[in-house]
């Protein structure tokens, strides 16, 4: 591999230490030296005026399926991300038996907003077990490093079949699942993930399988992590699993626990900060996840998965798409939907606007549904439904959901216990694009608002997630570390607006966002982004087998 020197940049090393002027030498995919001029002939890359940082680590993605048809992992690879963690929230596509493939894909459709047509065409299903899935990933020309978690939902289907959504596991089933967790850990899973969230409604309107598990089952399935003193546990919180339960699990297994998520909402002033304070009081290696962007989605009533926390929309998700219009036309359903949405979200439809429409082009961008409803003497849900029914449910609305309180978000970003991420990259593909959270952090929170220093922002994106997840020799610019690096212009780094493209399998659409000011990115010493453009076919990424614990690391 090439040996080259990166010269002229301000080096922000990912530890939080002050930026420094230093030459960084890369050789054979590793950082050879920092602050030492190279001897002999060496290629020099001039980074004058740029910041050189470790490559960004995204701890919360759902690229489990997309990686099989898009080894470049776009758009994350456009934004300086060099490592992604997959399999979050208990979801994934392995282990999966052939008879469960349709069900597992429908879970991803309902919960994570992945288009079913794209999944059907794009997943080759050359695997059944988790080790076989890892081997399939290892054979790909990965552009980024991929660190997979084993998900609770496919695991339950694999052992329990259709009963996975209905009941507790038997003693024998529990033993079988525990053995599969151990097998996955030994094969290279970086940990285990689950969900207790009432919003997670899966195939055919049934709760996702992990919600049917007892907490005792969860404890049993985490034993392989405790026994190996390896791995990381990630979970979406629910009524019976929150701050105290996470702290108790972290203390019992002696491993890091992260839960999704603490959201800062104007409807509940101070609640997010108070939750973070409870985390500190509870103690243990607990790292709740936070987002640095408002969660704003584009919703079409053909697939209202973003509203799954509202019971009336659970009814919708249980129906085939062709039967949903009839339910929307029912006045009684609309009243239930209006009441059910207000419980978790308040009056969120008041501020929604039409975003994409052929029939209603004159309404794109405003007025809001609240304003239209006031004019017509009806509720915003009625306006939304009537507009949608006139366009075969394909009218798209921009709906501000949560995480809309900058004051609270700023406080959360200053709490070193909290893990930044929650990009959900690879999920909700037609509804949002938050894979650009790193460039948003650097522009909005660092440069524009000054809430974070440059050094703090880079630590949030690099050294901190590497430390929490235990990813070995990544996340810092240090001799002997893997050469995952990003060079960016601090004056222009940021993100462009979301754009709808039709590049998923079967020609399905998704939202992507271009980066700005990301000049170069290297993964394991090989350029994947050069002079502001992708390097096609580079493929230097590694499957990070067992990368969730430094002392047990067996990856490249």
- Contact by Cβ (8 Å): 213, 152: yes
Can you tell me the distance from the alpha carbon of 466 to that of 460, in angstroms, rounded to the nearest whole number?
Answer: 10
**Residue in this structure with the two tokens 């894979």, named with its chain if needed:** 435
In terms of Cα–Cα distance, which of 539, 556, 426 is closest to 58?
A: 426
- As beta bridge partners, residue 364 has 354
Residue 361, φ and ψ in degrees, nearest 5: -55, -30
Q: To 10 degrees, the CA torsion angle through 322, 326, 328, 334? A: -150
Q: Within a 10 A sphere around the Cβ of 274, how many other Cβ atoms? A: 12
Where does residue 451 fall: left (phi above 0), alpha (psi -120 to 50 degrees), or beta otherwise? alpha
556 pLDDT more than 90: no
Give the model confidence (pLDDT) of 84-103 as tens digits.
999 999 999 999 999 999 99
Q: Which CATH class is domain 56-294+403-455?
A: alpha beta
The gap from C-alpha 130 to its chain's centroid, in whole angstroms, comes to 20
CB 128 within 8 A of CB 95: yes
Give Cβ neighbours of residue 275 (< 8 Å, ≥ 6 apart): 243, 262, 288
Residue whose entry in the numeric block shows the structure tokens 């449910």: 393
Q: What is the pLDDT of residues 177-206, one digit of tens each?
A: 999 999 999 999 999 999 999 989 889 889
Domains in the chain: boundaries = 56-294+403-455, 297-399
Closest CA to 308 of 64, 119, 109: 109
**pLDDT tens digit string along 201-240?**
889 889 999 999 999 999 999 999 999 999 999 999 999 9
Please check the confidence at residue 533 and state whether its pLDDT lies above 60.
yes
Distances (CA, A) of 412 to 58, 168, 279: 18, 37, 12
Given a contact cutoff of 8 angstroms between Cβ atoms, the answer to whether 463 and 477 are in contact is no
* Residues 81/60, Cβ–Cβ less than 8 Å: no
Question: What percent of the chain lies above the pLDDT cut of 90?
Answer: 89
Q: Are strands 10-11 and 81-86 parallel, antiparallel or unpaired?
A: unpaired
Measured torsion, CA atoms of residues 272, 277, 282, 284, in degrees rounded to the nearest 10: 90
* Percentage of the chain lying above the pLDDT 70 cut: 98
Tens of pLDDT, residue by residue over 504-525, are 999 999 999 999 999 999 999 9
Other C-beta atoms lying within 10 Å of the C-beta of residue 361? 9
Alpha helices, H only, 255-319: 271-282, 311-317
Q: How many CA atoms lie within 13 A of 50 on its CB side?
A: 23
So what's the pLDDT on residue 458? 98
Question: How many Å apart are CA 16 and CA 154, to the nearest integer?
Answer: 38
Full DSSP string of 105-170:
HHHHHHHH---HHHHHHH-----SSHHHHHHHHHTS--SSEEEEPEEHHHHHHHHHGGGGGTSPPP
Provide the 8-state DSSP code for 284.
Answer: S
8 Å CB contact between 403 and 264: yes
Whole-number pLDDT of residue 2? 85
The label of the residue with tokens 């048809």 reads: 69
Note whether 54 and 525 are within 8 A (CB).
no
For 368-419, what is each residue's pLDDT tens digit? 999 999 999 999 999 999 999 999 999 999 998 889 899 999 999 999 999 9
Instruction: Report the pLDDT averaged over residues 307-325.
Output: 91
Strand partners, 151: 193
Q: How is residue 100 annotated by DSSP?
A: G
Q: Pull the structure tokens for residue 35.
A: 């602050």
Query: What is the DSSP secondary structure assignment for residue 185, as one 8-state letter?
Result: H
Whether pLDDT at 555 is above 50: no
At residue 471 the predicted structure's pLDDT band, cuts being 50, 70 and 90, is very high
Cross-strand partners of 241: 238
Structure tokens at 414: 């200053």
Query: Which token pair is 404?
Result: 């809309």
Cα–chain-centroid distance for residue 276? 20
The band of 1, judged by pLDDT with boundaries at 50, 70 and 90, is low
Answer yes or no: are the C-beta atoms of 13 and 54 closer than 8 Å: yes
- CA neighbours within 13 Å on the CB side: how many for 525? 20
* Helical (H) or strand (E) element with 375: helix 369-376
Mean pLDDT across the chain? 95
């Amino acid at each position: 591999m090439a040996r080259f020197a990166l010269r002229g940049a301000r080096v922000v090393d990912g530890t939080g230490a002050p930026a420094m002027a230093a030459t960084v030498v890369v050789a054979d995919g590793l950082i050879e030296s920092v602050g030492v001029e190279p001897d002999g002939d060496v290629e020099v890359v001039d980074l004058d005026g740029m910041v050189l940082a470790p490559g960004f680590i995204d701890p919360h993605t759902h690229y489990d399926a997309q990686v099989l048809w898009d080894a470049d992992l776009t758009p994350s690879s456009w934004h300086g991300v060099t490592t992604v963690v997959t399999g979050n929230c208990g979801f994934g596509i392995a282990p999966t038996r052939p008879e469960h493939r349709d069900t597992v894909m429908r879970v991803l459709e309902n919960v994570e907003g992945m288009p079913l047509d794209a999944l059907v065409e794009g997943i080759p299903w050359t695997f059944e077990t988790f080790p076989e899935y890892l081997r399939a990933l290892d054979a790909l020309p990965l552009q980024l490093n991929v660190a997979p978690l084993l998900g609770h939902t496919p695991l339950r289907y694999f052992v329990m079949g259709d009963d996975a959504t209905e009941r507790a596991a038997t003693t024998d089933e529990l033993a079988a699942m525990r053995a599969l967790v151990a097998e996955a850990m030994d094969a290279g899973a970086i940990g285990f993930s689950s969900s207790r969230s009432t919003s997670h409604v899966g195939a055919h309107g049934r709760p996702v399988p992990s919600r049917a598990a007892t907490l005792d089952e969860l404890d049993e399935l985490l034993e392989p992590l405790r026994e190996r003193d390896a791995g990381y546990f990630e979970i979406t919180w629910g009524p019976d699993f929150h701050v105290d339960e996470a702290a108790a699990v972290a203390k019992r297994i002696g491993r890091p626990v992260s839960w999704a998520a603490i959201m800062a909402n104007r409807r509940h002033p101070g609640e997010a900060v108070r939750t973070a304070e409870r985390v500190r009081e509870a103690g243990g290696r607990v790292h709740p996840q936070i987002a640095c962007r408002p969660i704003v989605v584009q919703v079409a009533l053909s697939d209202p998965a973003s509203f799954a926390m509202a019971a009336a929309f659970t009814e919708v998700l249980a129906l085939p798409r062709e039967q949903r219009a009839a339910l929307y036309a029912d006045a009684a359903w609309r009243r239930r939907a209006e009441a059910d949405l207000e419980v978790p979200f308040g009056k969120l439809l008041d501020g929604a606007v039409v975003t994409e429409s052929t029939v209603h082009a004159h309404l794109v961008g405003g007025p809001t549904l609240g304003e239209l409803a006031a004019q017509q003497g009806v509720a915003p849900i009625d306006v939304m439904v009537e507009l949608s029914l006139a366009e075969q449910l394909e009218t798209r609305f921009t709906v501000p959901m949560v995480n809309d309180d900058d004051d609270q978000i700023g406080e959360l970003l200053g709490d070193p216990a909290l893990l930044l991420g929650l990009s959900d990259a690879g999920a909700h593909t037609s509804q949002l694009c938050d894979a650009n959270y790193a460039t948003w952090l650097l522009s909005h929170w660092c440069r524009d608002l000054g809430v974070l220093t440059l050094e703090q922002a880079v630590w949030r994106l690099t050294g901190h997630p590497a430390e929490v997840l235990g990813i070995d020799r990544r996340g810092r610019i240090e001799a002997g570390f893997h050469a995952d690096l990003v060079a960016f212009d601090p004056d222009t780094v940021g993100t462009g607006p979301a754009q709808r493209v039709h590049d998923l399998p079967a020609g399905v659409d998704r939202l992507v966002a271009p980066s700005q000011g990301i000049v170069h990115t290297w993964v394991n010493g090989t350029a994947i982004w050069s002079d502001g453009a992708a390097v096609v076919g580079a493929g230097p990424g590694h499957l990070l087998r067992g990368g969730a614990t430094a002392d047990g690391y067996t990856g490249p």
